[in-house]
């Protein structure tokens, strides 16, 4: 009986495949092949503000980034409300393909070098392939190069290293609204006290509302799970505007985070919006096409 049932199921599946193949051939003859339409421009660039966004750098494109944070507003008139002080990050992101991006950067804050790899596991799409979300895996590493606080003790190179693993999951709900979540783990080889965790877990959330064709408002918040770090560490909160002008995207924002890389803005933010500990800053993105895509 089981063999007969298996034969019937096999025959049905075979018949369906034949009919489907005939339908595909007919659609092809009629010039009606169904295509897959991938969703793009969920965010203006591959960054929201500090967080990586759903977007990747297009294949063959080099993205030169300048990140700038002034001092905090509560510095008052003496510090010109933060404008007397600044930290900067210079970065280069390159699209190996439309789904694989690599990047490097150098921050003046803690004299840190960083690098990342970002791969899109899923791409939101309609048509032949339907996928309701985009998902990307982000892996980063960083090395802090400040002089040792105590050069006379045994200091190890490994103590300077930090690693981040992040999953970015989100959706472009409409032309005007996108939302993403970013569960994250930051590993720190060296921590200040025994009470601190080497592995720190957090959840980021970010969204974009498109106001006009070239202007959008962005926001992001990173919730740090409790009892992992010591000191007056606060959750990172950032709000800003994206302005697109041809090959440039300007991101103007306010954030309570000084650092512009994951190990910093997730685990080392000490400023608070409630007491004016907010930086005004901007990101500038300029893209260059290094390798043109081949046309079919």
Residue ranges of the domains in the chain? 39-289
Q: What percent of the chain has pLDDT over 90?
A: 58
Strands 61-72 and 215-224: unpaired
Contact 216, 44 (CB under 8 A): yes
CA 176 – CA 208 distance, rounded (Å): 8
Residue 110 has pLDDT above 70, yes or no: yes
173: closest CA among 36, 37, 34, 43? 43
Query: In a 10 Å sphere around its CB, with 0-12 CB exposed, 13-18 middle and 19+ buried, how is residue 258 labelled?
Result: buried
pLDDT tens, residue by residue, 205-230: 999 999 988 899 999 999 999 888 88
Residue 4 has pLDDT above 50, yes or no: no
Q: What percent of the chain has pLDDT over 70?
A: 87
* 288 or 195, higher pLDDT: 288
pLDDT at 33: 61
CA atoms within 13 A on the CB side of 292: 3
CA 265 – CA 235 distance, rounded (Å): 8
* 63 or 291, higher pLDDT: 63
pLDDT at 23: 47
Token code pair at residue 203? 């959840």
Contact 205, 239 (CB under 8 A): no
Average pLDDT over residues 34-51: 89
Residue 27 has pLDDT above 50, yes or no: no
Residue 30 has pLDDT above 80, yes or no: no
Contact 268, 256 (CB under 8 A): no
Q: Which run of H or E residues covers position 286? A: strand 279-289
**How does residue 271 score in pLDDT terms, banded at 50, 70 and 90?**
very high
CA 73 – CA 278 distance, rounded (Å): 6
Token code pair at residue 225? 């799970």
Q: What residues pair up with 222 in beta bridges, in sequence order?
A: 204, 236
* 257 or 295, higher pLDDT: 257
Taking all residues of the chain, what is their mean pLDDT, rounded to a whole number? 86
pLDDT at 38: 86
Residue 167 has pLDDT above 80, yes or no: yes
Query: In a 10 Å sphere around its CB, with 0-12 CB exposed, 13-18 middle and 19+ buried, how is residue 295 labelled?
Result: exposed
241: closest CA among 219, 273, 272, 265? 219
Q: What is the CATH number of domain 39-289?
A: 2.40.160.40
155: closest CA among 186, 110, 193, 189? 189
């Amino acid at each position: 009986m089981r063999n007969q049932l298996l034969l019937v199921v096999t025959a049905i599946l075979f018949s369906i495949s034949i009919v489907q193949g005939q339908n595909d051939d007919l659609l092809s003859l009629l010039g009606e092949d169904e295509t897959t339409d991938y969703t793009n421009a969920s965010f203006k660039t591959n960054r929201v503000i500090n967080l990586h966004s759903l977007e990747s750098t297009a294949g063959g494109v080099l993205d030169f980034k300048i990140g700038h944070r002034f001092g905090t507003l509560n510095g008052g008139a003496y510090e010109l409300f933060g404008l007397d002080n600044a930290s900067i990050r210079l970065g280069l992101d390159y699209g190996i393909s439309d789904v694989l991006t690599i990047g490097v950067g150098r921050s003046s804050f803690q004299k840190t070098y960083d690098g990342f790899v970002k791969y899109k596991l899923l791409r939101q799409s309609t048509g032949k392939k339907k996928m309701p979300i985009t998902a990307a895996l982000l892996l980063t590493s960083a090395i802090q190069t400040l002089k040792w606080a105590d050069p006379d003790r045994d200091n190890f190179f490994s103590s300077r290293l930090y690693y981040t693993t992040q999953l970015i999951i989100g959706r472009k709900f409409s032309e005007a609204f996108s939302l993403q979540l970013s569960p994250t783990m930051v590993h720190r080889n060296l921590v200040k006290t025994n009470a601190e965790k080497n592995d720190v877990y957090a959840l980021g959330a970010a969204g974009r509302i498109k106001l006009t064709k070239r202007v959008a408002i962005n926001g992001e918040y990173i919730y740090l799970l409790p009892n992992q770090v010591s000191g007056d560490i606060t959750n990172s909160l950032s709000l800003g505007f994206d302005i697109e002008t041809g090959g440039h995207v300007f991101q103007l924002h306010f954030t309570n985070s000084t650092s512009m890389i994951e190990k910093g803005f997730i685990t080392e933010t000490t400023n608070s919006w409630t007491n004016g500990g907010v930086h005004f800053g901007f990101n500038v993105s300029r893209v260059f096409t290094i390798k043109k895509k081949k046309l079919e």
